[in-house]
Amino acid sequence: MSKLVISTSIFQSQVADLLPCNNHQKSQLTYSLINAYDLLQHFDEVLTFPYARKDDLLEFHSKPYIDYLINGRFNKMMAQDVNNPMVESKWSELSELADNWNEKIDYNPSQDLQRFTTRENLYNYYLNHSQALENNMDCINNSEVPTNDKPTDTYILNSETKQYNLEGDCPIFSYLPMYCQVITGATLNLLDHLSPTERLIGINWDGGRHHAFKQRASGFCYINDVVLLIQRLRKAKLNKITYVDFDLHHGDGVEKAFQYSKQIQTISVHLYEPGFFPGTGSLSDSRKDKNVVNIPLKHGCDDNYLELIASKIVNPLIERHEPEALIIECGGDGLLGDRFNEWQLTIRGLSRIIINIMKSYPRAHIFLLGGGGYNDLLMSRFYTYLTWCVTKQFSNLRCGDNNSFQIDPFDVCDGDDSEQFIREHDLVEMYNEENYQYWIYEMEGSSRMKMLRNDNKDRDMVELMKFYEL
């Protein structure tokens, strides 16, 4: 038996979408689509207000970095976001779509299901609830309380922003401290349901911030929730842990944190080509006598090749380690339709690979985290379908007599993907330009399906197997 727990809510998704690379919509689209398919009812627990305290972040990150990162002066509207028409229009667009939908179906959502119309309202909700979660009010020190100063951009001149890499792809944005504490909490709070007598399957599609380092941000990642999760698992006496990363980019932050550990195995399957971020993850970076595993792949990787990689290399290496807990980073930037246009995985194919790994280790606690993915409409489809696959395979609540649990929402008549449309829901109009078709990026003949040349060869796999003595 498995206990299924997921951290997701309108609040969490709106906080997650403060991250600039989320385009103020990625997480909200995912949350709404998961709800459209009624998937949350199949979870034993749904966490709606995740929160990590400053001390939680310090379990891995350095104190000077955390002191600067979650300083209260950043918990407000920053100068670059004030009167920014692009940001404001996107923030209000989803709320307006939801309001129009609710009015159309004559639905009056409860307070906890209402969207926050401004970032200030979102922060006030966070402030009230986070203070309530603190055991003692003196835990909230002055450095974490926002000032009433007008937005300023003087921080840009601060040498610490360069020291901590809070620029470029990791800028300081409005309400950055709230973002860090909520999204990290969404991963760590899953452990509140860890039990020695029951297998836990925990999900946070907003997590998987695998590039962050101990003393600096990197690659859109500020707090490394993966490392913090692994450290918490070790404190819970789960010594042997495996981390598998399917993101297009090398999981450098996690690998570096545990590169000398015999108990923590890190496996990263990623694109490795000259000039591609982060530039690490070659075979020479791996240590055969340790548990650092890099599987560098080339342009054009498809489902068939990745399935062979998983069955012939990833799974045997996991079996060799015999983990008590398994963390899978489910990045979707290798999918067909992603803006990187480097790999050509399908939603079904990548989901099948992840589910097969989960099924192979029935005694291990499993945590599924999000990751890269830069086509927001595509990512909402992926995480919704993968969530359905997880509940279909592992939910105890699906074992009842309720016929609605037995319905396959992704069953297509005669295998015709063109007949599978996005379910009606509050944000369905966001899929208008894609004709509301669920599988538009992997349908034969679709204008959105663009096949790539696969540069990965059988001899490359043979070389990998030889290197890892398989």
The three-state DSSP-derived secondary structure of 69-118 is HCCHHHCCCCHHHCCCHHHHHHHHHHHHHHHHHHHHCCCCCCHHHCCCCC
Max distance between CA atoms of the chain, in angstroms, equals 63
Angle at 445 between CA 440 and CA 447, to 5 degrees: 60
* d(C-alpha 2, C-alpha 200), whole Å: 6
At 26 the three-state DSSP class reads helix
Ranges assigned E (strand) in 305-443: 325-329, 365-369
Which one-letter amino acid corresponds to residue 180?
C
* d(C-alpha 9, C-alpha 279), whole Å: 35
Ranges assigned E (strand) in 362-448: 365-369
* d(C-alpha 37, C-alpha 428), whole Å: 12
377 to each of 32, 153, 235, 372, 441, how far by Cα in Å?
Answer: 11, 33, 38, 13, 10
Q: Choosing from 24, 61, 210, 211, which is the catalytic residue?
A: 211
* d(C-alpha 231, C-alpha 55), whole Å: 13
The answer to whether 242 and 314 have CB atoms below 8 angstroms apart is: no
The answer to whether 233 and 251 have CB atoms below 8 angstroms apart is: no
Annotated catalytic residue 211: yes
Active site residues: 211
